[in-house]
Chains A and B, each alone.
Chain A
Amino acid sequence: AQSVTQPDIHITVSEGASLELRCNYSYGATPYLFWYVQSPGQGLQLLLKYFSGDTLVQGIKGFEAEFKRSQSSFNLRKPSVHWSDAAEYFCAVGHYGQNFVFGPGTRLSVLP
Chain B
Amino acid sequence: DQQVKQNSPSLSVQEGRISILNCDYTNSMFDYFLWYKKYPAEGPTFLISISSIKDKNEDGRFTVFLNKSAKHLSLHIVPSQPGDSAVYFCAASAAQGAQKLVFGQGTRLTINP
Interaction A to B: no
Interface residues of B (CB under 8 A from A): none
